[in-house]
Amino acid sequence: MSKTSIAIASILLLFCGLFPNTARSATTDQAAAKASAIKAADGWLKIVDGGKYDDSWIQASSLFKDHITEDQWAQKVGAVRESTGPVISRKVASARYMTSLPGASDGEYVVIQYQTSFENKKSAVETVTPMLDKNGSWRVSGYYIR
């Protein structure tokens, strides 16, 4: 084998060794981000479930607060949650890590969909989107029920 062939083979081995670790590291980071975001979303949903809409606004991300006032949020979510009734069951159906969303600046987001059953709406999908805030905490930036 020539010196050039050995050098190329060495470089290829180096790259083959590096890229799987990089991919695994990114996957691990995304899995950790999803787990942290789900934990934050679950805690935030408990606040909403308890009817503490003002507190849920306070705990939300700055992006969330920039788009709706505390009073508007309390009125809107209160009306919707009053019509659905209390939560009977809720489970995570999916969680997708994203770095960009329509209408939002680039960042770290996890779009979580819950399959939820309410007293007055037996089958619903709640979409909760936590984002990684500037202080390193996951905070809810969006919430929708359909």
Sequence ranges of the domains in the chain: 35-145
Per DSSP, 146 falls in state -
Q: Give mean pLDDT, residues 34-46.
A: 98
Q: Identify the bridge partners of residue 143 per DSSP, sorted by sequence position.
A: 128
Q: Is residue 41 within 8 Å of 29, Cβ to Cβ?
A: no
pLDDT at 26: 55
Q: Which residue has the tokens 């709406």?
A: 121
DSSP string over 56-119: HHHHS-HHHHHHS-HHHHHHHHHHHHHHH-SEEEEEEEEEEEES--TTS-SS-EEEEEEEEEES
pLDDT beyond 50 at 12: no
pLDDT beyond 70 at 95: yes
pLDDT beyond 80 at 9: no
Q: Give mean pLDDT, residues 121-136.
A: 95
pLDDT beyond 80 at 77: yes
State the pLDDT confidence band at 68, using cuts at 50, 70 and 90: very high
pLDDT at 28: 63
**Angle ∠(143,30,113) on CA atoms, nearest 5:** 25
Mean pLDDT of the chain: 85
pLDDT beyond 60 at 21: no
- Compute how many other C-beta atoms are within 10 angstroms of the C-beta atom of residue 63: 20
pLDDT at 7: 32
Range 35-145: architecture per CATH:
Roll (3.10)
Q: Identify the bridge partners of residue 115 per DSSP, sorted by sequence position.
A: 91, 125
Q: Out of 2-16, 23-37, 72-86, pick the least confident.
A: 2-16
Q: Is residue 74 within 8 Å of 53, Cβ to Cβ?
A: yes
Q: Give mean pLDDT, residues 94-110.
A: 93
**Angle ∠(57,46,76) on CA atoms, nearest 5:** 45
